[in-house]
Structure 1
Amino acid sequence: KMEDDSELDLKDYLGKKVILSKSPHILLNLLKATLIWVFALTIIWLFYPLIRFWFENFMR
């Protein structure tokens, strides 16, 4: 009985995976691009004071 349940779960999972793979790739690429931008902007925001401080000392 337990084996049947796990088999159904696997089929359900595979079905969902197929639906996901059939969804437009543009949306996925947009999501990836957004995540990359957020990541990059976060790094810039974190390191900006450090870079500015370094530039101020370097320009003297």
Structure 2
Amino acid sequence: MSTTKAPPPVHPDVSIVRLHGEACFWCGAAHTTLIPAGSVSAPAGGSLRIWYIVACPAHADRRPR
């Protein structure tokens, strides 16, 4: 049995480009430097899918909760 905690869940309306790390997870900016910002989870076929997300410089200090 794993004791690893899953990343926080993401709202189902979040754009797929934000989940793919192609845009800032918080504002959607895509034409800027993007910085790794942690991970979130989303349901996928009866299990959880982990997505590694990015942030723009304006949101670089934010992390999913």
The normalised TM-score by structure 2 is 0.20
Structure ID, larger Rg: 1
Larger relative contact order (Cα-Cα within 8 Å, sequence gap ≥ 6): 2
Kindly indicate which of the two structures has a greater share of residues assigned to strand. 2
The normalised TM-score by structure 1 is 0.21
